[in-house]
Amino acid sequence: MDPKQAHEVRKLAKILAEEVDGWVGALDQNPTAPVDEYVDDVDAAFFRLKSGMGRSSDILLRRITVPASPRGSLLLASVDGLADTQMVDQDIIAPLLTTRVPASLWDQAALTPMHITRERSWPRLLQALAAGNTLLFAPDLPFVWVIDTVKYTQRSIERPQTELAVRGPEEAFNEILLTQKNQIRRRLLTPDLLFRDVTVGRLQHTTVAVAYLEQLTNPSLVQTVIERLESIAIDGIANATTIAGLIRDHPRSIFPTIRSTERVDVTIWRLLEGAVVVLTDGDPFVLIAPAPLIDFYRTGMDYSSSWSDSSFVRLIRLAGWSLGLYLPALYVAFSEVNPNVLPTSLFIVMQGSHAGLPFPPVVEIVVMILVIETLRESAIRLPKVLSTTLGTVGAIVVGTAVVKAGLVDAQIIVVMTMTALSIFSTPVYELTGTWRVVGFIFLMSAAIWGVFGIAVATIMVIAVLIDMQTFGTPYFAPWAPLRLGDWSTDALIRAPWTMFQTRWRGTRSQRPVWRTPAPGQRRPHLRRHQGNRNE
């Protein structure tokens, strides 16, 4: 061992020995104190931090002497970059250098930050330090002051990127949990709005907030969401999607049973319906529960446009869903398995276009599905300018090339183009992957059993949807069970606001009445000749 290494070893041994001596002396003074709690020894705390988190270069440890603590110096611990150093200097160190108030009253007279707590548990102290708080150790104090000096570095509030709208509010969440709470609070000016924080992750310690309206939301729903969050046993949470996969019903199903959104207006609307919203620190997407299938087809623009326009758009979405799901399967069924049900002229056109081609229609469709999915993935991965060019040019070049090469029929190009456009008419992106999988199942069923296979596959999918639930709510509501009130006002169509009398019953809210005054009361009308007249 060279002299330099020997010097480092002796230095480390000295630090460890001093730390052990400090803890032994502290235990001698208070033998009943648990080892995992802080005792009245600033020096021992310094050596514990120095030998633990203090080995990291971003941990700041500072000793200062103040008039109010003549028996010894104070210890300040913070994380460089996470803690606001200006706040530490101006609101903590500067007042302590002049005050003579006893240390036990510093939260009332000396320290100026708003949020100051007392803590003794070392695990919670280290967790608070890692979160950006400043720890203040003082002699003669059996506890530690935990001062909120977290510096919130965030991007500005922007427009939604995945849920675009032509009309209505254009505000999206960002990654800071406190900002997400403020965005909701500014639009729900009611004391009934509550947030319940839950810490998830053994290593990462991600803060998750549950938002709800106390006098409106079902207490059982709130308790269920909180219990599922508290039961998560995982080292760290990557994003809100991870939490959704751990707390949702039917986690192995391809159908999402909890909705995510980045729009503030959609979140407010669902809170007013009695739903629960889960906010995740570090992720701009919030989770909404319960989330039946129909909720994935309701957008924020539906409630910002006229009822006729919103209803028409919803019918267009239904038509797009039907085309995207059934068009390839029906084409294969009518061209290969059940050509006898087609009119003679249509049969001749379909069969004549495939004359001389080497592959059957089902193979051509599968090839085009692979081409479309490859183009879609490459467009996502490339920069925005290149992705737009690649998507447009790639589709034209590939489509023209495969037809001229005699590998795919021109009718297949038309069918797959309409399918790709229709399937992406789904408002929520996470549901498009589900329908692509279901459409492929329908395609294989049509290739084997024709129209009968499509009917059987449809019945099986409907049976699965009826059997599913989301936080106690039937997933296929309001069709199964049939709820005419929900179905006629906010399902296939969005009825005029005067027809909204009660809230959506899926959340089982405490106050089912939504609109007051109650329908039936006479509204005031201005008569034709009523008003001021010049006499």
Q: Where are the domains of the chain?
A: 11-147, 177-303, 307-474
Which pair of structure tokens corresponds to residue 509?
């809210």
Would you say 41 and 103 are in contact if contact means Cβ atoms under 8 Å apart? no
pLDDT in tens, the chain (535 residues): 566 666 666 666 666 655 555 555 554 455 454 557 898 889 999 999 988 888 888 899 999 998 888 878 899 999 988 898 888 889 899 999 888 888 888 888 888 888 899 999 998 999 899 888 999 999 888 999 999 998 877 777 888 888 888 787 888 998 888 889 999 999 998 889 999 999 898 888 888 999 999 989 999 999 999 999 999 988 888 789 899 999 999 999 999 999 999 999 999 999 999 999 999 998 999 999 999 998 898 888 888 888 888 889 888 988 889 998 999 999 999 888 888 888 888 778 777 777 777 888 888 888 888 888 887 777 777 776 666 666 666 666 777 777 777 777 888 888 888 888 888 788 888 888 899 899 999 999 999 999 999 999 999 999 999 999 999 899 998 888 887 777 777 888 888 888 887 888 878 888 888 776 655 556 666 666 655 555 4
Q: Which helix (H) or strand (E) holds 50?
A: helix 42-51
Query: b or e along 111-123 (b: 16 or more beta carbons within 10 Å of the residue's beta carbon)?
Result: bebeebeebeebe
Measured CA angle at 486 (ends 483, 490), to 5 deg: 150
Measured from the Cβ of residue 530, the count of other Cβ atoms closer than 10 Å reads: 8
CA 423 – CA 64 distance, rounded (Å): 65
Tell me which long-range contacts 68-71 makes (C-beta under 8 A, separation of at least 24): 68/96, 68/99, 68/100, 68/101, 68/102, 68/103, 68/106, 68/110, 69/103, 69/138, 69/139, 69/140, 71/139, 71/140
**DSSP string across 230-286:** HT---S---SHHHHHHHHSSSTTSSS-SSEEE-BHHHHHHHHHTT-EEEEETT-S-E
Q: Which two tokens stand for residue 74?
A: 């104070």
